[in-house]
Structure 1
Amino acid sequence: MADRRSRSSRDLLVWMHVLTSVGWMSQALALATLLAFGLSTGDPEQRLSAVTMAEVLDEHLLLHMANASAFTGLMLSALTPWGYFRHWWVLTKFAITTVQVYAGIFVLGPNLQAGVRAAEDGRALPPGVAVGALLMASAMAFQTWASVAKPWGRTPWTRSPRAPRKVPSGPGWLFLVATLLPVAEYALSVGVLGFPFPFGSLLVALVHPIARSRGLRSGPAPRVAARGDAGPTSVS
């Protein structure tokens, strides 16, 4: 019964990860479409409308989807035998996701704001914003392929004498927390704060893997994970 509840909680987290990842990629494509239109049109009003809609889309939806997708993907790795550093495809996705999130925050967002100001002044949009959005969508598509194909095998760290040979899945309640936390943070950001505040997700994503790694190295040999706990098979 406990294993069944754990698998149900894991499936719920997988569903949330797929939902937010598809949302992230589709919103990135929508962003690229709006910005490409803004670059190509000769009408200043249409240019301003396109880049303004792109900025609204980025701030009010894409950013939240990206945060939730990244967090749920990290937790699926942390809570299942896949781990962060045991398989090259997981490690590659981890690196790409990290770059995407920070590029969106520190590069794409400010350039969108600059694009709005340029359109308000009647100037052309910087072409890099559309390219950046298209690269983001392309990176998501690549990660989808990696999730399905699971290429490149295991990393050298799995052969370390200190690495646990059998890694258990996390408890069902933690899968549930990882599913509901992005929803709570979205409600807090939209309904109260007015800006994204994924502090809880960041804290859990940082603290849990460290605590779990220490527990695996110091505790007794863990049980073999159930067949339903095979790890993340979705997009990220």
Structure 2
Amino acid sequence: MHDLATPTVSSARAWQWTPLVRKSLTVLHAICGIGWMGVDIAVFALLMTARTTDDPALVASSFDAIRIIVPLAVPALSLGMLATGVLLGLGTRWGLIRYWWVLVKLLMALVMVVLVFVSLVPTVSSISVPVPTAASADELRARLGPLPDMLLFPPIVSFLMLGIATILSIFKPWRHTPWSRKPASASGNEVRAV
């Protein structure tokens, strides 16, 4: 059986994930982010349908779908994205606070996860869609108050933040943070593998 982490030759890092573990975590990280973006697109499409249709049954079913999808999918995807990102940071040369692009991604992920649990899930879970009896689509939307407008922001904002995180991952801008330890080879104290 292979170890999940292997020692490195640098004293700056005691260990790193094996290539298989690193790649597996990277795949899971990408799946969680892409899945979350997919939920954002679906929620946005449902919201736009509910805001523009003249069919009261479609208004009600769109909000019911949002009420079902978001609490099931978004918390799991957000926690999965955060957990795999932290594990990747801990077990790779990038670290969690060594590079600005990683630190910015971590802070964005923390803000997004907190907003999911503090604001989005409670709001979506409390949606009470009136049964479309003789009411028109406009009357149903009026009964929901500002909720249809308020719910437009989470999928747009999280989609954009996830897009920015993707760009940061690909281009890796900026240099080391002030909290980054210099590589051992820069100070001349290189550890040699025996």
Superposition misfits of 4+ residues, deviation over 4 angstroms: 220-224
Identity of aligned residues (%): 24
| SS of the residue 1:156 aligns to | coil
Residue correspondence of structure 1 range 146-157 to structure 2 within 5 A: 146-157=168-179
Taking a change above 3 Å as real, the CA distance of residues 54 and 66 of structure 1, as seen in their structure-2 partners, is same
Equivalent-residue separation in structure 2 for 1:223 and 1:88 (angstroms): 29
Match of 1:47 in 2: 59
Match of 2:119 in 1: 107
1:174-232 Cα distance to aligned partner (Å, 9 max, x none): xxxxxxxxxxxxxxxxxxxxxxxxxxxxxxxxxxxxxxxxxxxxxx97679xxxxxxxx
Q: Is residue 153 of structure 2 the alignment partner of residue 135 of structure 1?
A: no
Corresponding residue pairs, total:
165
Taking a change above 3 Å as real, the CA distance of residues 44 and 221 of structure 1, as seen in their structure-2 partners, is farther
CA contact (8 A) 1:32 1:131 kept: no
Taking a change above 3 Å as real, the CA distance of residues 152 and 37 of structure 1, as seen in their structure-2 partners, is same
* Structure 1 segments unaligned to the other structure (5+ residues): 167-219, 225-236
Taking a change above 3 Å as real, the CA distance of residues 92 and 98 of structure 1, as seen in their structure-2 partners, is same
CA contact (8 A) 2:40 2:155 kept: yes
Instruction: Tell me the CA shift for residue 39 of structure 1.
Output: 2.3
More helix by share: 1
TM-score normalised according to structure 2 size: 0.75
Instruction: Tell me the CA shift for residue 44 of structure 1.
Output: 2.8
Equivalent-residue separation in structure 2 for 1:223 and 1:27 (angstroms): 48
* Structure 2 segments unaligned to the other structure (5+ residues): 7-16, 132-139
Taking a change above 3 Å as real, the CA distance of residues 157 and 32 of structure 1, as seen in their structure-2 partners, is same
The two structures, once aligned, show a CA RMSD in angstroms of 2.6
Match of 1:24 in 2: 36
Q: Is residue 144 of structure 2 the alignment partner of residue 124 of structure 1?
A: yes
| SS of the residue 1:157 aligns to | coil
Match of 1:186 in 2: none
Larger Rg, first or second structure (1 or 2) = 2
